Amino acid sequence: MRKNKIKEIWAAGKCATLGWLSVPNTFTAEVMARQGFDALCVDLQHGLSEMKDVAPMLQAISQTDTVPVVRVAWNEPAAIMKALDLGAYCIIVPLVNNAEEAARAVAACRYPPVGMRSSGPVRAVHYGGADYVAKANDEIVVMAMIETREGLENLEAICATPGLDAVYIGPADLSFALGLTPRGDNPDPLHIATCDKIRETAHKAGIKCVMHCAAAPFAAGAVKRGFDMVMLTADLSCMIAGARQQLEELKAKSA
């Protein structure tokens, strides 16, 4: 079976980079996959993509060695299994509140006897290899998002969930949980301290911790603080930033 590059990076003690796809387009997915990210996520929760977009976007990503990731819209087994069957090598599950919900997410990602995943890797076997079913449990990465007040209260129990590979910090919803206004790369001391606590708790439990960032300066800080993966930027964010930069430069130089 094709090895999961995320796990290889983590085994080497390094931090992985993650890119984000908010736009349901195969060409932009391919272009983003060619920029050098270790992994690239199709976002079904807040992006414009739907399940029908996942297969062609994963096909585009698979032209490179970038790891295909899917964030599902909800902790729902059928959607998780479908994304895996289409070739996702990592699943991000949002709004995980307790150990029971974390265990449900893990079970949907693992074949029996470990989990409850149904056998039918319609595309995954072609992407992963003929021995996919036999080895998928060891290669697929599952992440639970920590972003609610209840999730924070049950943080230790969630991190101790057998089979969970990592917790993923959702900074905007985490701000809501802390009584703060959501913003990208939140510098608020309470937010920073909470994220560090999540990281420390995850590491104590022997799993990884991922930080969702908005720009390189904050992401670099997260790497130095010991996070195991950083989401750096998204396709839509890059398009907006690039267009604004060119327009502002034009106005400045033609004034």
Please, which pLDDT band fits residue 88 given cuts at 50, 70 and 90?
very high
Instruction: Note the residue count of the chain.
Output: 255
- For residue range 48-80, what is the model confidence (pLDDT) as tens digits? 999 999 999 999 999 999 999 999 999 999 999
Active site residue 46: yes
d(C-alpha 111, C-alpha 128), whole Å: 15
Predicted local confidence at residue 177, as pLDDT: 97
Average pLDDT over residues 173-199: 97
| pTM over 0.95, yes/no | yes
- For residue range 100-150, what is the model confidence (pLDDT) as tens digits? 999 999 999 999 999 999 999 999 999 999 999 999 999 999 999 999 999
- For residue range 191-233, what is the model confidence (pLDDT) as tens digits? 999 999 999 999 999 999 999 999 999 999 999 999 999 999 9
Predicted local confidence at residue 206, as pLDDT: 98
Predicted local confidence at residue 73, as pLDDT: 98
Predicted local confidence at residue 158, as pLDDT: 98
Predicted local confidence at residue 17, as pLDDT: 98
Helical (H) or strand (E) element with 145: strand 141-146
Q: Give the chain's mean pLDDT.
A: 98
Please, which pLDDT band fits residue 157 given cuts at 50, 70 and 90?
very high
Structure tokens at 102: 């974390």
d(C-alpha 17, C-alpha 213), whole Å: 11
**Domain formed by 5-254, architecture:** Alpha-Beta Barrel (3.20)
d(C-alpha 3, C-alpha 65), whole Å: 10
Give the list of residues 6+ apart from residue 162 with CB closer than 8 angstroms, or none: 103, 106
144 DSSP assignment: E
Is 169 within 8 Å of 192 (Cβ atoms)?
no
Instruction: Tell me the C-alpha to C-alpha distance, in Å, between residue 224 and each of 87, 136, 217.
Output: 32, 32, 11
Average pLDDT over residues 78-83: 98
- For residue range 22-56, what is the model confidence (pLDDT) as tens digits? 999 999 999 999 999 999 999 999 999 999 999 99
Which of the residues 46, 191, 203, 212 is marked catalytic?
46
